[in-house]
Amino acid sequence: MVDWILSQPFALAVALLTLVAAVRSQCTYWLGRAVRAGVIRGARAERLRSAKANAAIARLERWGWPLIPVSFLTVGIQTATHLSAGLVGWRWPRYTAAASIGWVLWGTVYAAGGLAVFSAIAAFATDSPMLAVAILKVAAIIAVVVVFSRSKRLRDAVMRALNQVTASKATPASAEKASGS
């Protein structure tokens, strides 16, 4: 299939790959919407309908749309991004408008050589499976180290912020009682 697509004229290859990206992202988005519909009918409905949750979704709709087309240029977060758009309830027209930019980007990148790179990686993994596994293990270890180091920094920052908030909420009367005066 890859060879057939790459053998087509460039414009046709871009169109075919754009269509593939469109179908895949729309299916993923609607899967997220289906999950959201089940959650909203469940026990967590009040939490999802809170003013805070609605404000977060509105901010995501207003500022988060660039994430959708950019996700098409990444490896590993496309599905999560499109599923999340459905889970948070992005309106379909807005999601589709943002995604359509990404569809064309993805189709163009892959038609221009992205599929050839993928084919080369697959051939390398077939020729040297042990080396490919070793490279994946090293990459996984690096990813785990990066995630946990960032998580610790984030956790520490959140704890400092919470401590500052709780310290600033102390009233003068409670501060006097704590100091013993």
For 20-52, what is each residue's pLDDT tens digit? 999 999 998 898 888 788 765 665 555 555 565
Tokens 């027209």, residue located = 93
Cβ-based neighbour number of residue 57 at 10 Å: 15
In whole angstroms, give the CA distance from residue 77 to residue 82. Answer: 9
Q: Which two tokens stand for residue 4?
A: 């057939």
pLDDT digits (tens, 9 = 90+) for 61-118: 666 788 888 888 877 678 878 878 888 888 899 899 999 999 999 999 888 877 666 6
Residue reference for tokens 């089940």? 38
d(CA 140, CA 165): 37
pLDDT tens-digit map of 113-127: 776 666 677 777 778
Q: Count CB-CB contacts under 10 A for residue 170.
A: 11
Domain ranges of the chain: 2-127, 132-181
On whether the pTM is more than 0.75, the answer is no
The token duo for 173 is: 């009367």
